Amino acid sequence: MAQAAAPEAPARRLKLVCPAGTPPALKIAVDQGADDVYLGFKDETNARNFAGLNFDERSLREGIDYAHRKGAQVLLALNTFPQPATWRKWQSAVDRAAALGVDAIIVADTGLLAYASRTHPALRLHLSVQGSATSHEAINFHHERFGIRRAVLPRVLSVEQAEKVVSRTPVEIEVFGFGSLSIMVEGRCALSSYATGESPNTHGGCSPARAVRWQETPRGLESRLGGVLIDRFAAADHPGYPTLCRGRFVVNGDTYYPFEEPTSLNTLELLPRLQAMGVAAIKIEGRQRSPVYVQTVTRVWREAIDACARERERFRVRPAWQEALAGISEGRQCTLGAYHRPWK
């Protein structure tokens, strides 16, 4: 009598990592089913250093307590790069994070990783996407030297390249699933500094609010960054936040987006493959976005990840999910970005 085949082992559950730019966004993300929420202090130690965003020590302590009561974890982004004159501020941020009891810190700078691993050995360390680690060798170096437990892959790898990284490192791999895209190499871009005078990698803002201007003109609504005209919108258009890499400029007499059109990454259709190849977590971009954005994107991705875990081979993306995500996407359009390269 033939022996029955062993049941297929259940896949490890993908964690859903959601943005929390404000205390209300944190509560919404947790209530909608986020496994992890990520956030920053109210200063330039994080890459979303905008007025009205982020957490002071009191609100962070309350946020940690709320998340833990609901079974979620809090990750603190310390993902900009200290300079010699500002080192102590970043060092202090690590100490404050450890004292407040965050579940992990997300760090880009190797000096800061070294400090954190030496001073707070019990503190879980994640390598930020700003660390630009695109190979298993780079990730394993940070694991061996600093003990990182998770690494966030930059949005420049194809699915095949990401799969090779996952298979060759003991470190948990987190990939972006939805949100804003940039053509620039993460952690290495200084383009906006030419218009604003501040590097996003040291001051924490690609397009700081103080440098942004909106003006109604006879030709339409204009957005400017540091005095540079970024785009002009008609009444029916959906204006996006002005960044140089997604600006519409006149080139050789033609007006278009020479770098990249406003669009959002959306990898719902890749969920079964990401799960099968051993990705540990799906990250949602958007700490600068509204609580409504956080509510929508967390609800959709929670449903999708749970459906993928249940159905596996029979998983299909529901039209209602795509419709909901299209409504909160930049330019009202989505892409697979570098994950899909038909020319390969």
Q: Which residues pair with 173 in a beta bridge?
A: 151
12's tokens: 């490890």
Q: What is the pLDDT of residues 55-111, one digit of tens each?
A: 999 999 999 999 999 999 999 999 999 999 999 999 999 999 999 999 999 999 999
* Residue from 263, 193, 180, 185 nearest 226 by CA: 193
And the tokens for 98?
A: 């450890």
> Where is pLDDT greater, at 24 or 247?
24
Task: Please give the C-alpha separations between residue 270 and each of 84, 178, 283, in angstroms, as whole numbers.
Answer: 42, 11, 14
Cα angle 30, 107, 19; round to 5: 25
245: left (phi over 0), alpha (psi -120 to 50) or beta: alpha
Q: What is the pLDDT of residue 12?
A: 64
Task: Say if CB 128 and CB 90 are below 8 A apart.
Answer: no
Q: Where in the chain is the domain with CATH 3.20.20.70?
A: 15-181+263-339
* Domain covering 15-181+263-339, topology: TIM Barrel (3.20.20)
Pairing of strands 254-256, 249-251: antiparallel
3-state secondary structure of 193: helix
Which residues, at least 6 apart from 97, have a Cβ–Cβ distance to it below 8 Å? 76, 78, 105, 123
Distance CA 37, CA 64 (A): 10
Q: What is the pTM of this model?
A: 0.88
* For range 237-243, the mean pLDDT: 77
More confident residue, 334 or 295: 295
How crowded is the C-beta side of 81, counted as CA atoms within 13 Å? Answer: 17
What confidence tier does 6 reach under pLDDT thresholds 50, 70, 90? very low
Range with the lowest mean pLDDT among 3-7, 30-34, 297-301, 326-330? 3-7
Residue 25 main-chain phi, psi, to 5 deg: -65, -40
Which residue would you say has higher pLDDT here, 119 or 225? 119
Residue 269 clears pLDDT 80, i.e. is over it: yes
- Burial (CB < 10 A; 0-12, 13-18, 19+), residue 59, is middle
pLDDT band at 37 (very low <50, low <70, confident <90, very high): very high
Between CA 326 and CA 332 the distance in angstroms is 5
What 3 state SS string does 294-333 have?
HHHHHHHHHHHHHHHHHHHHHCCCCHHHHHHHHCCCHHHC
Cα–Cα distance for residue pair 327/296, rounded to 1 Å: 9
Q: Where residue 341 falls among pLDDT bands split at 50, 70, 90? A: low
* Rounded-to-integer distance, Cα 46 and Cα 41, Å: 7
Residue 262, amino acid: P
Can you read off the two tokens belonging to residue 17?
């990592």
